[in-house]
A and B are shown apart, each in its own frame.
Chain A
Amino acid sequence: MAATLDVNGKPLSVQAADDTPLLWVLRDELGLTGTKYGCGIAQCGACTVLADGAPIRSCLTPIAAVAGAKITTIEGLGGDHRLQEAWVRLDVPQCGYCQSGQIMSAVALLEQSPQPTDEEIDAAMSGNICRCGAYQRIHAAIKDAAGQTPAADTQTQA
């Protein structure tokens, strides 16, 4: 049965059944593979996308639940979003698999709170697991993108 989703500003017709998780429709049917599968139970955040600006875990969200919502994926940020630039500036990614989800959660945070406190960053980002442990740079990059104190160099030649 065909449904129409609003993804990154475009209405797209999809064939998947109503109860299919948004993640698999984005990835397999629409070819938007930037959004990742990590756990399938909304515990790791790798599948995070925005629905009307709010972060959602697409692995557990059936497409029927987002009919009519404006969905934004990592591809919809355009590649030069200030968070993406900060991510590159600070070399945040290691393996990189979780980073689309991390960035989408951070986008939602800055929309909500343009000058987030450390506690707000902790609260907004703790649903996104990074097994490489890039948390310190993720934290610094969010502050950097928010125009807060530039991150200090974390390494020194002694």
Chain B
Amino acid sequence: MNAPFDRRRAQAGPSRRDVIVTATAAGGALLVGCSPTSLMALGAEGEVGAFGPFVKIAPDGAVSVVCKHIEFGQGNHAGLAAIVAEELDADWTRVGWEHAPANAKLYANGAMGAQLTGGSSAINNSWDQLRKAGAAARAMFVQAAAARWDVAVSEITVENGVVSHAASGRTADFRELLPDAAKITPPAEPTLKDPARFTLIGTDRVRRKDSRAKSTGETRFTMDVQAENLLVAMVAHPPRFGARVASFDAAAAKAVPGVVEVYEIPTGVAVVADNTWAARQGRDALTVTWDEAKAETRSSADILTRFQGLTDGSAALAEGESWQAFESRGDVAGQMQGAAQGEALEIGYDFPYLAHATMEPMNCVAQVSGNQARLTFASQGPTLDQLNVAKVVLNLPGSVEIETLPAGGSFGRRANFQSDFVVECVEIARKVGKNRPVKLVWTREDDMAAGYFRPLVHHRVKVVTDAEGYPRAWSHRIVTQSIMKGAPFGGGGVDETAVEGAKGSPYLAATPHVDAQLLTPDIGVPVLWWRSVGATHTAYVMEHTIDQLARRAGQDPVDYRRALYQKADARRHLAVLDLAVEKSGWAEPAPEGWTRGVAVHECFGSVVAQVAEVKMENGEPKVGRVVTAIDCGTAISPNQIAAQMEGGTCYGLSAALYGEVTLTEGRVDQTNFDTYRVLRHNEAPTVETYILAQPAGAHPTGVGEPGTPVIGPAVANALLALTGEAITAQPFVKA
């Protein structure tokens, strides 16, 4: 999940309204008044060892950091482990990691009040918590050594997992001191290190711990779970969103060798078999008739046409629809009226539905006995999954056991308010019963046609400028489906995930007259956050519009941005822009045949600037060198920050160039990689990452998503410089 990080909420805890809404979602009015975390943990059994919920130390002295966040590629385990190791002064080569079990009470995301990974918040919300956890464990070893050697605590030092007393020359490692240290009560407020004395954080030693297992095939993903008596399930899903099973004939499916049983479940017809191939053949042999009375039957082209009409006035608002202001000041209407003919820049932008298309399609393993459920899978939001599963098996959320495995990618897909594929698996496991494990496998086609897309979005922007060419009045309209509608927490008001990045933009801050509004029509297509969420479209609109305005003003796009950042006092934007400009050689001509484009965007607390070198090759844009500058606070793992800039850039570039899901009369047109084009090896750019230096101890911010939204506008701006034409729709390359 990629809900925006809210520091205020992280400090204050969830509001009372959240408590009630969450309680309702859990299905028990009696639960109102509990704090959400204790509510969601009701029925949970959690054992915490001597060193607290986040640190385990084995008898041989090896340290394991318990990660409350899922590892789905972003390398957060390395950063989380390094925070603990730094404060513990552990031997980094003997520090490992493991996923925490589902337990909202112990492992809630401090930014969300639920156990969830998203919003690029893993490191951000764990920073203080894990520093304390590491420091507390260190203090226990220090105290144990002081007592054993009968010396003062202040004379003890710890380095690389070795506890020493210099005056007497005595040393002991964690293994030797463990029995004593484990008996000491952890200090509630341990003394933290002076960040200027960090020896691990920020160094190239902070590398992934899972590269070898992921290079040998040993890493166990959900798809790889094997167990005695395991059944594999596949489900025939309706061809349109909102359709249901009317009737089905299972005779041919049951005749397939290996097929064990066929069940109707709320989401379709499930075939359960001894192995994956039998399940697939059985599923293909089903005959299902669908009841499409309540199905969504619109085409995406029609939805887009209506969205466009809603911003140009040619389409009327339907009942229940209304515009919501998300930023407004001054008198935009008056300024627009007073503008001379042709003075305003008016432009519409269109963004298609996008599939996450993780390499590992959605899947889950569940076993149910009575109202007890145990799940083994890549749970991105254990709290959501516990709530939704509890409703199926009629038990308390905390009673649902979840063992989290690493995921073959998520990009937001695995955290949704309905826990769609998880609940589907539990429905089947409940039919099977007897605690027998059932592995639900989705094919690529199942995964891509299931929806939960990045919503289709339309923007219309109208800007009039002052005598120097800077924005004087800015009208902004966004039409998109709401992601947050139906959320068990939050809700009401403007859907921030639809406007983030436009709202709060330094360009709007630098504009005296602003009228920015959002409209969120209801459409029966499930939508969800998609790596960088609102920024997937707002960054493009803001950054590409700014380059067009700079061009009209006859200014260099870098100089034009600098002036606006100064007006808005956007110092972090200015700093990363300057860094990217310096490292890219912006002042010098681009290499022969290449054209440069620049873009800057703040996303989940980090600010990224990119300068991309682009050329046209065989009629398609080709992106070469991409210089990236990032301000992400304290850099814990420079190597993994670079990896996220490289990967995030590819993910964003894939969408900008090729990504598009269309619907024809409600049916998803692209169901596999033959029609849903994604970036391939020969199309990948070369990303250089430069991390802005920070004062010691600066709070770290996220890196999983901020690398994604900047490349699209950087490339569009290069093409604007090359051709003089704005690009008003993604993807740039049409199928």
Q: What residues make up the interface of A, taking CB atoms closer than 8 Å to B? A: 16-17, 20-21, 24, 27-29, 31-41, 43-44, 46, 73-75, 77, 79, 84, 87-88, 91-100, 103, 121-123, 125-139, 153-158
C-alpha gap A20/B654 in the complex (Å): 33
Q: Is the CB of B409 within 8 A of A129?
A: no
C-alpha gap A55/B218 in the complex (Å): 20
The answer to whether A158 and B681 touch (CB under 8 A), given A79-B216, A92-B215, A95-B360, is no
The answer to whether A131 and B276 touch (CB under 8 A), given A95-B73, A95-B359, is no
Q: Is the CB of B215 within 8 A of A95?
A: no
Choose from B216, B409, B642, B678 the contact partner of A34 (Cβ within 8 Å). B216
Point out the residues of chain A lying under 8 angstroms from B217, CB to CB. Answer: 32-35, 73-75, 100
Q: Which of B654-713 contact A (CB under 8 A)?
A: 654, 672-674, 678-682, 684-693
| Closest partner residue, chain B, to A38 (CB atom) | B359
C-alpha gap A83/B53 in the complex (Å): 38
Considering residues B221, B444, B641, B686, which has the most beta carbons from chain A within 10 angstroms of its beta carbon? B444
C-alpha gap A99/B214 in the complex (Å): 7
Q: Is the CB of A88 within 8 A of B211?
A: yes
Point out the residues of chain A lying under 8 angstroms from B409, CB to CB. Answer: 94-95, 97, 131-132
C-alpha gap A41/B673 in the complex (Å): 9
The answer to whether A96 and B210 touch (CB under 8 A), given A44-B359, A139-B681, is yes
Can you list 21 A-B pairs with a CB-CB distance of less than 8 A? A32-B217, A34-B218, A36-B360, A37-B441, A41-B673, A43-B672, A43-B674, A92-B215, A93-B214, A95-B72, A121-B681, A125-B682, A128-B681, A133-B648, A134-B647, A154-B642, A154-B689, A155-B688, A156-B638, A156-B688, A156-B690
| Closest partner residue, chain A, to B257 (CB atom) | A17
Q: Is the CB of B647 within 8 A of A133?
A: yes
The answer to whether A91 and B207 touch (CB under 8 A), given A27-B276, A79-B216, A126-B680, is yes
Q: Is the CB of A126 within 8 A of B681?
A: yes
C-alpha gap A24/B223 in the complex (Å): 12
Choose from A21, A32, A36, A91 the contact partner of B211 (Cβ within 8 Å). A91
A116 to chain B, nearest CB (A): 12
Q: Is the CB of B674 within 8 A of A135?
A: no
Point out the residues of chain B lying under 8 angstroms from A41, CB to CB. Answer: 444, 672-674
C-alpha gap A94/B214 in the complex (Å): 8
Q: Is the CB of B75 within 8 A of A43?
A: no
C-alpha gap A155/B454 in the complex (Å): 30
Q: Is the CB of A94 within 8 A of B275?
A: no
Point out the residues of chain B lying under 8 angstroms from A36, CB to CB. Answer: 221, 223, 359-360, 408
B615 to chain A, nearest CB (A): 16
C-alpha gap A34/B218 in the complex (Å): 6
| Closest partner residue, chain A, to B626 (CB atom) | A136
C-alpha gap A74/B689 in the complex (Å): 31
A112 to chain B, nearest CB (A): 16
Choose from A16, A37, A46, A157 the contact partner of B638 (Cβ within 8 Å). A157
B735 to chain A, nearest CB (A): 14
Point out the residues of chain B lying under 8 angstroms from A39, CB to CB. Answer: 444, 672-673
What are the nearest 6 A-B pairs in CB distance?
Answer: A34-B217, A133-B650, A97-B408, A96-B214, A155-B642, A95-B73
Q: Is the CB of B277 within 8 A of A133?
A: no
Instruction: Give how many B residues have a beta carbon under 8 Å from the other chain's beta carbons.
Output: 78
Point out the residues of chain A lying under 8 angstroms from B674, CB to CB. Answer: 41, 43
Considering residues A123, A127, A139, A158, which has the most beta carbons from chain B within 10 angstroms of its beta carbon? A158
A63 to chain B, nearest CB (A): 11
Q: Which of B256-270 contact A (CB under 8 A)?
A: 257
Choose from B74, B277, B672, B691 the contact partner of A24 (Cβ within 8 Å). B277
C-alpha gap A132/B672 in the complex (Å): 17
Point out the residues of chain B lying under 8 angstroms from A43, CB to CB. Answer: 672-674
Q: Is B418 an interface residue (CB 8 A)?
A: no
| Closest partner residue, chain A, to B649 (CB atom) | A133
| Closest partner residue, chain A, to B363 (CB atom) | A37
B172 to chain A, nearest CB (A): 32
C-alpha gap A20/B690 in the complex (Å): 49
Q: Is B635 an interface residue (CB 8 A)?
A: yes
C-alpha gap A45/B599 in the complex (Å): 33
Q: What residues make up the interface of B, taking CB atoms closer than 8 Å to A? A: 72-75, 202, 204, 207-208, 210-221, 223-224, 226, 232, 257, 275-277, 357-361, 406-409, 411, 441, 443-445, 579, 583, 629, 635, 638-643, 645-651, 654, 672-674, 678-682, 684-693
Considering residues B72, B232, B640, B646, which has the most beta carbons from chain A within 10 angstroms of its beta carbon? B646
A126 to chain B, nearest CB (A): 5
C-alpha gap A51/B204 in the complex (Å): 39
Point out the residues of chain A lying under 8 angstroms from B357, CB to CB. Answer: 131
Choose from B359, B360, B583, B640 the contact partner of A129 (Cβ within 8 Å). B359
C-alpha gap A99/B679 in the complex (Å): 16
The answer to whether A16 and B651 touch (CB under 8 A), given A88-B215, A91-B211, A126-B680, is no
Point out the residues of chain A lying under 8 angstroms from B684, CB to CB. Answer: 133, 135-136, 139
Q: Is the CB of A93 within 8 A of B359?
A: no
Point out the residues of chain B lying under 8 angstroms from A95, CB to CB. Answer: 72-73, 358-360, 406-409
C-alpha gap A16/B276 in the complex (Å): 12
A93 to chain B, nearest CB (A): 4
Q: Is the CB of B651 within 8 A of A133?
A: yes
| Closest partner residue, chain A, to B441 (CB atom) | A37
The answer to whether A16 and B360 touch (CB under 8 A), given A94-B73, A95-B409, A123-B682, is no
Considering residues A37, A121, A130, A131, which has the most beta carbons from chain B within 10 angstroms of its beta carbon? A131
Q: Is the CB of A97 within 8 A of B360?
A: yes
Point out the residues of chain B lying under 8 angstroms from A94, CB to CB. Answer: 73-75, 409, 643, 647
Q: Is the CB of A46 within 8 A of B359?
A: yes
Q: Is the CB of B211 within 8 A of A33?
A: no
Q: Is the CB of B219 within 8 A of A96?
A: yes
C-alpha gap A31/B202 in the complex (Å): 40
The answer to whether A158 and B647 touch (CB under 8 A), given A34-B218, A79-B216, A93-B211, is no
C-alpha gap A91/B109 in the complex (Å): 27
Point out the residues of chain B lying under 8 angstroms from A135, CB to CB. Answer: 650, 679-681, 684
Considering residues B72, B642, B643, which has the most beta carbons from chain A within 10 angstroms of its beta carbon? B643
The answer to whether A131 and B72 touch (CB under 8 A), given A33-B224, A95-B408, A158-B692, is no
The answer to whether A98 and B359 touch (CB under 8 A), given A44-B673, A156-B690, is yes
Point out the residues of chain B lying under 8 angstroms from A138, CB to CB. Answer: 681
C-alpha gap A101/B368 in the complex (Å): 34
| Closest partner residue, chain B, to A75 (CB atom) | B217
Point out the residues of chain A lying under 8 angstroms from B646, CB to CB. Answer: 133-134, 136-137, 154
Q: Is the CB of A91 within 8 A of B647?
A: no
B619 to chain A, nearest CB (A): 18
C-alpha gap A125/B684 in the complex (Å): 11
| Closest partner residue, chain B, to A35 (CB atom) | B217
